[in-house]
Chain A
Amino acid sequence: MRIRVVVVVLLLVAGAACGGDGGGGSASQGASTTAPAALAFEQQNITVATPGDVFITRDRNLLGMWPDNANICETLVGAGENLQPVPALATRWTLVPPNTFRFELRRDVRFHNGAAFNAEAVQYSMARIVDKRLALTSFVGADSTKVIDEFTVEITPTQPNLRLPEQISHPNFSIVAPGTVPNDKPVCTGPFEFVEYAPNDHLTARRYENYWGEKPKLRQLTFKFIPDQNTRRLALESGDVDGVYFLPPQQAASVKGRPNLKLAPTPPGAAVVLSFNLHTDAPYNLMQDIDLRRALAWSLDPKALADVQWQGTAQAINTVSPPSVLGAIASEIPPITNDLPKATALLDQKGWRVGGDGIREKDGRKLSLVAPAQFDFEPESLQFLQAQARRAGIDLKVEKAADGAAYSSKINSGNWDVDINYWNQNDANPASIVSRLWYGKNTAARIKFTNVGAKFDALVDEALAAPDTAASARKSVDAMKVLLQEQVGAIPLTSFPQIFAFKTSVAGFTAHPSVNLQPWTSTYRTG
């Protein structure tokens, strides 16, 4: 009898596992032309699963601001839908030559604690940012911010930097209420105000009723920290959460097939880029030969990588920055074309002969390249790149790091040939990526291996000193032409989106091309 009971229970469980969709398959996913009706305001609460609690490892200095941005805080300048600088807490900014920016502040703005937003608040916030060393590449120093009057401030970087307005669109530069410390409770001016933060569990914000701009449709927004990506997806499928951050492409396909769920990818933003070690002695000196760099570039097929490995969610790119931050002139940089015959012919011409194992060699030296890859890189993508390089007789010895520290250690040691990583843009500065990764005046350890020379540095100088964003984008593109075409100092491969997924009952979410500047004001529930 007891055995029969056990068998029945097992059959029930198996039936549940194999049966129809338990999440309620009646919700439609089709593209409707009319906006679905919103629930009553009291029911406008959503919970979004994000990767593990990042605030706890950042001294809670940026609680609710970054990287999980609950729209609690705002910056003087915002990053628009194409990462262009747009007015936020500053309505206007002008350059006061040679190196000062004057910001005119928005009036009638109140912090969540009722205090008035004014120039003093900007000065207080900038002092905190400098103290916390969050203003590094913007060169904002302790004495940089000057109060002109109640609604005007001037910021003078410690060294020439005309990219300041774009750089301060990064959430690092959030403005907090004077006298408050955001570590435990951020008090800002954003459309949502802080409710609570439970380390390793959740962060909750609610609509700020006295917000100066368009008020959020949501009453409450909760970020649930779920470190495991499979659990995040299963939590969405079970209905425990209403949305999830950062779905891998493979899981996106599974979500796509579910009638009660939908995907919301950002425009492609993060870029997969190969960089070369150009300045180390043997045995890591192979990439000092530009023809080898060129041959490797021709052997790779970014479009195939995007289509096959990213299942159509990524796109091949010709720049190292997201195209949206550069504008239309991004297309001036010719894409690297996959041309295997050209790659093999060049290698033959240079005396690299194919050995018995299919790997080329010359003077007893194999064409083997040590290629460290960031720890969270998709293994399938790495295998794909290896297979493509091998067709040209190039042995890409990929070393996927165990974690970020191991990756940095490897890169900083100089014991590598090709660096495989992806880079994000989270501000409106067109010169951000070029100045972070190859610019000789940047003192980051990796630069001494990757810098491509004086001509590139001079163009980045000009990009950083350009009077406006468009001019900076132009100079950044010129610098990229040197980096990618003249020097082949890097190979941009694909730009990929961050994939969000929601229940179909969540509407109005508009994804931003950055990783972490997602706006939540237009999001609402329909069921």
Chain B
Amino acid sequence: MKRYVASRVAWLLVALFGVSVITFGLGVLAPGDPAEIVVERRLNQPPPRDLVDAERRNLGLDRSLPVQYLNWLSNAARGDLGRSWLKSIEVSDALRQRIPRTAVLAFTAAAFSIVIGVPVGVLAATRRNALADHVCRIGALLGASLPSYFLAYVLIFVFAVRLNAVPAFGFGSPAHLVLPAVTLALGPAAVLTRLTRSAVLDVLDEDYVRTAKAKGVRQRTVLYRHVLRNAAIPLLTVSGLSLGHLLGGSLIVEWVFAWPGMGDLAIGAIHDRDYPLIQGFVLFSALVYVVVNFAIDLAYGWLDARTRGAG
């Protein structure tokens, strides 16, 4: 097991190195002169060349690319991700401020998606081809197909503008959490519904389930003790990946709801070509994915003794 963990950690480092190279390369290849952007934002007008040149030196952009990259990498290894070019803040501080907000949204959305997706999937499976099944499947299809920005506006219109039940945007109270979390949850919930339905249907056909039923075990016990536990592995994989995606910052949803999390930070940084922030965001997102995947792998062993043995 130790060897397995060590190899996963080594791959994690390789993945992060690759991400850092790609992120740095994309920043370099992107059109636009960062020094000019910084000065133009400061002056709010087309900037004179001498100030742009001075800013380029100030930002270290006059050095060779390998030197720029190595400087950044060595600092990053010490936890110093640099300073935002346009915001008066350290990148690590910006991430520290935003991560908890995104985490609240991500975990709430993930919880919503499980609370909605799994029971609906079970309902659809146990009422196979009945009206409830058809309604659940159509709902899942809609949930999976609707773009989140469209869904966000529909939810704001219905629940904030028309019903006046929750705030349309913002951050700070549980009520503010409702619409963005539901918007984020419906997509993964739809996937979970479909997956749960198909996993439960598969397990319902297994011999041990038929045996349990034949022995007179109650339907609810069969479902919870035998069916759901065995259907849990694919559900865990999807839930984990969804959580990884949500923790990485849900760019569009955070933007639409003015939720000041990682997604909002990333959009602003991309728009401003604020490379240190973009690099910090991408590194964080990659790290979240790798760590979540790692945790899922470990959880497999807990859920399934066969996996533990193989590991």
Contact = CB atoms under 8 A, between A and B. Distances in A.
Given A22-B161, A59-B88, A238-B160, A408 B36 contact: yes
A500 interface: no
Nearest to A172: B44
B80 interface: no
A19 B52 CA distance: 56
A444 B52 CA distance: 10
Contact of A240 (B33, B36, B170): B170
B288 interface: no
A57 B46 contact: no
A444 B164 contact: no
Given A134-B43, A403-B32, A405-B32, A228 B156 contact: no
Contacts of A19: 162
A58 B167 contact: no
B186 to A, nearest CB: 14
A444 B43 CA distance: 12
A328 interface: no
A11 interface: no
Contacts of A56: 87-89, 268
B88 to A, nearest CB: 5
Contacts of A362: none
B158 to A, nearest CB: 5
A201 B260 contact: yes
B49 A3 contact: no
Contacts of A409: 31-33, 36
Contacts of B42: 58-59, 132-134
Contacts of B273: 403, 405
B135 interface: yes
A132 B169 CA distance: 34
B268 A57 contact: yes
A136 B42 CA distance: 11
B104 interface: no
A58 B36 CA distance: 14
A226 interface: yes
Given A3-B135, A57-B268, A240-B167, A136 B48 contact: yes
Contacts of A436: 45-46
B168 A444 contact: no
A388 B169 CA distance: 40
Interface in A203-240: 224-228, 230-231, 234-235, 237-240
A480 B210 CA distance: 89
A238 B31 contact: no
B40 interface: yes
Contacts of B267: 227
B132 to A, nearest CB: 6
Contacts of B260: 199-201
Interface string A168-190: 00000000000000010000000
A414 interface: no
Interface residues of A, number: 54
A445 B45 contact: no
A136 B43 contact: yes
B131 interface: yes
Nearest to B270: A403
Contacts of A405: 30-34, 36-37, 272-273
B216 to A, nearest CB: 26
Interface in A336-355: none
A70 B48 CA distance: 29
Interface string B154-166: 0011101111100
A132 B41 CA distance: 12
Contact of A137 (B45, B158, B168, B264): B45
Of residues A57, A60, A132, which shows the largest number of chain B Cβ atoms within 10 Å of its Cβ? A57
Interface stretch (B189-197, B218-226, B232-240, B250-258): B250-258
B62 to A, nearest CB: 17
A142 interface: no
Given A57-B87, A408-B36, A444 B45 contact: yes
Interface in B57-96: 86-89
A16 B166 CA distance: 14
A6 interface: yes
Contacts of B272: 57, 405
Interface residues of B, number: 54
Nearest to B47: A444
A114 interface: no
Contacts of A27: none
B50 interface: yes
B162 A16 contact: yes
B153 interface: yes
Nearest to B45: A436
Interface in B149-188: 153, 156-158, 160-164, 167-172
A102 B150 CA distance: 58
A437 B45 CA distance: 9
A201 B170 contact: yes
A227 B272 CA distance: 14
Contacts of B153: 230-231, 234
Interface string A383-405: 00000000000000000000111
Interface in A369-424: 403-406, 408-410, 412
Contacts of A225: 258
Contacts of B3: none
A226 B135 CA distance: 36
B49 A443 contact: yes
A231 B32 contact: no
A52 interface: yes
Given A227-B255, A410-B31, A183 B169 contact: no
Contacts of B215: none
B271 interface: yes
B51 interface: yes
Contacts of B44: 67
Given A17-B162, A238-B156, A228 B31 contact: no
A67 B88 CA distance: 17
A3 B157 contact: no
Interface string B1-38: 00000000000000000000000000000111110110
A22 B258 contact: no
Interface in A132-149: 132-134, 136-137
Contacts of A2: 132
B136 to A, nearest CB: 10
B282 to A, nearest CB: 17
A410 B36 CA distance: 12
Contacts of A442: 46, 48
Interface of A: 2-3, 6, 13, 16-17, 19, 22-23, 52, 56-60, 67, 132-134, 136-137, 183, 199-201, 224-228, 230-231, 234-235, 237-240, 403-406, 408-410, 412, 436-437, 442-447
16 contacts: A6-B135, A16-B163, A22-B164, A57-B41, A58-B41, A60-B88, A133-B43, A133-B51, A134-B42, A200-B258, A225-B258, A234-B157, A238-B164, A240-B167, A403-B270, A408-B40
Given A56-B268, A58-B86, A231-B256, 16 more contacts: A3-B135, A52-B268, A57-B272, A136-B51, A201-B258, A224-B170, A228-B255, A234-B168, A403-B32, A408-B37, A444-B45, A444-B48, A445-B47, A445-B52, A446-B46, A447-B46
